[in-house]
A and B are shown apart, each in its own frame.
Chain A
């Protein structure tokens, strides 16, 4: 092969570039039609499926929340019976945590991380396909059970012994336990993919200290998933085994321990909160930089804060268990850790405010949602500090105060930034802008609705209203505040509806976005909207932390990657120095089949332990197919690098569009 340079004219160069793009498009296009749906490995297509599926679950979870608010609007209401209410609150929590929040955050990472770091796909594209289908099967399982009146009813935490065989007969809790296993497998797959992609597939020049904060957030989250999820899979598997084959892990009558389950569950459950909201911090850093038109103040402090949050997040789980008989010395440690974790989050909030202070604000809908984040999340953080105190926790634990707190943290810390992210990145995905006017309505309705629903709940909790009650007595005096909360829920729902309409309208008729409507700084904005299947024609060479803003006119690009097979560049972990050219696996039906085998195994495992024997054979067979599958590419040599009088990198937009 000859990588030597030949001088060519501008016309020849342009023609060659067009030819390369056509070849790349052919090489990276998925199979057409139904077959493509089951075999496509494009990270963007998979991520969009994840996002759409997770959003559907978000709406379903919202409908369940609305039903609960109708029931609680008046005391002694008979809109739902206790059994329905208990199923609904369990499925609401399970849906929002496992089927909405974690998947959608990972999905935005799967969509954006390769685009932000200049890669052509993720590190394990077929694992990605597998992860999606496993997640989908888990979600369908839960809702099939729910619609057949077999929805889990032991709470999203499913404490033993209530969830054990003696007090939850039937298959309801089994469905919950297996659904957990499905979604955790999928989350682990997503985490491994993101870690691999971030560490080994960055564009040359993007050393770790130039990594966008969004990618840092995804990286920290992925590591947290890898350490946290096995704990809950252990909890749910031991529970399933107690229920299916009469083991006694959690049965105190036979020497088991009910507290053990709580430790396992919360060792996952608390980091879960950070798994949901650290990606939100990543959205905020991206949006603040783009709309304050300046560098984020304190990059190093921000990165260290993310990483320390990731570590400390594992040292807090016992604050969910302060009311259990646990030695006071141990509790004190968890109080201190729960308070310490405020510091890294505080550092980030202060740095964003400092950034906004000296920025030149382009106040658009994404930034409005970030302002909403500040107001809501800070309240949630402060009530979190209160809950960290053991004695105070004993009054407000398991009351509506905690319901208020957790929604302030999760909706404020994750959902508001997520909606900001939708407004920010949907133009990249669809190529069209969402309506700014509808966006402002969307923000205002969600902000007002949210605070009306959840602020009164603080008061309700202090006034003695416990959580998870299907009704309350008229004389309790809780009726008025509950009614206000229910009215707020209606407003919040209208806000979400405005978003859906805005999206559907923009998809058909929104203004064209162009490559970089916000004149933002990260690499995804250097390519067309929507992005081509191959992402980058020429992988860029990054010259600064704010890749597009700091790109010089003569910035070099990576040449020499094949256009006729799926080839990408592998770079070193720290400095992102090119190491080798790497063939990425392409479309294959096997990941889908392995997902089916997994589904059959776990669903049949609800009924008989023999499922695992059959499942092992099925999985063995399909995995064999997966590993033997031949990518079968044309193995043509790479093209020569043309030498030109001017750079072939993309032009950079520094001024946002008027929208």
Chain B
């Protein structure tokens, strides 16, 4: 089990799931808001602690502890002025926060309708993400899972739905989170300014494997994105070797097809992730494991070992069949 997730983060360096490492305009404006609030609040805290320290110093080492029932009017007035100024300062600070917060919020949502660069439907399942790229041209629509490619510098709108329970879509480097609620559609936009991989994770407790429900956003230059997209719209590559052909037969005859689809074959179920181009993805198991042969073998044989409680049962395949199925899956680029 030590191998779980090996290199998921290291593949691309640290900080790929970090709200203070913003890589797009949406998250960047939130980071600015955070630092403003952080420094003001830190100053307030230090100020109050200093006042408390002076109060304690002023009040200690007095010999007589009989209660003071009639403080002089002069000290009472001074205390009143001090408290009133503190309250006034509080109100001013809150007002600044409020205005800054409102304007940041407006800037993020006001022109949502014009952010028409790319529109992607994400539907959350226990515990993975179904991803569908919309297009006016029906032949350009395709479905994938857990790995979302986007072009750099283009705003992307997400239409978020939940299939079963409430989930939350959160890619901290690019944007704040949004809940996916059964029976409702939420929208969110984000934009990546730098090419790279950003990891997102479900942020609303959604049951047993909430901890292992993540996704990748891969931001790449427009040409590279177009190439990827072009490839994704194609049906699956036919098996080229004997082993792959055998693997396809095993796949199509086994329970795999009860849940999974591979476009261009008879496997057409949409209960689990679409596997048409599974070989081209970087991770499996909702961005929990890197997509290596070793991980695929163990995942197909008994996924419960990595992600207990997930909906995929163990497969009782002979070693030969298992190797062949994985050969086939890896060929689905």
Contacts and interface: CB of A to CB of B under 8 A. Distances in A.
Interface of A: 76, 78, 81-83, 86, 154-155, 159, 161-162, 166-167, 252-253, 257-259, 292-295, 297-298, 301, 323-325, 328, 331-332, 335-336, 339-340, 342-343, 346-347, 349-351, 353-354, 356-363, 371, 374-375, 378-379, 382-383, 385-386, 388-399, 462-464, 466-477, 519, 521, 546, 549-550, 654-656
B18 interface: yes
Contact of A397 (B6, B177, B309): B177
Contacts of A78: 1
9 contacts: A252-B184, A298-B80, A356-B52, A361-B62, A371-B56, A391-B101, A397-B203, A468-B205, A549-B69
B37 interface: yes
Q: Taking each of A167, A351, A382, A656, which has the highest tally of chain B beta carbons within 10 Å of its own beta carbon?
A: A382
B183 interface: yes
A325 B186 contact: yes
Contact of A342 (B4, B90, B199, B210): B90
B59 A346 contact: no
A328 B313 CA distance: 43
B64 A350 contact: no
B179 interface: yes
A258 B71 contact: no
A343 B94 contact: yes
B311 interface: no
B143 interface: no
Contact of A654 (B2, B44, B67, B206): B67
Given A360-B64, A386-B37, A466 B202 contact: yes
A651 to B, nearest CB: 15
Contacts of A467: 203, 205
Contacts of A395: 19, 27, 30, 34, 172, 176-177
A159 B71 contact: no
Interface in B162-208: 164-166, 168, 170, 172, 175-179, 181-187, 199, 201-208
A4 B175 CA distance: 81
Interface of B: 1-2, 4-10, 14-15, 17-20, 27, 29-30, 33-34, 37-38, 41, 44-45, 48-49, 51-52, 54-56, 58-60, 62, 64-69, 71, 75-76, 79-80, 82-83, 86-87, 90-91, 94, 97-98, 101-102, 104-106, 108-109, 126, 164-166, 168, 170, 172, 175-179, 181-187, 199, 201-212, 288, 308-309
Contacts of A331: 105
A347 B82 CA distance: 11
Contacts of B186: 324-325
Contact of A550 (B69, B106, B206): B69
B2 A475 contact: no
A476 B75 contact: no
A343 B105 contact: no
Given A324-B186, A362-B65, 12 more contacts: A78-B1, A83-B308, A154-B207, A258-B182, A258-B183, A294-B67, A294-B71, A357-B79, A386-B34, A389-B105, A392-B37, A473-B5
Nearest to A544: B69
Q: Taking each of A379, A464, A468, A654, which has the highest tally of chain B beta carbons within 10 Å of its own beta carbon?
A: A464
B34 A385 contact: no
Contacts of A332: 102, 105
A375 B105 contact: no
Contacts of B38: 386
Contacts of B87: 343, 346-347, 350
A397 B15 CA distance: 19
B64 A391 contact: no
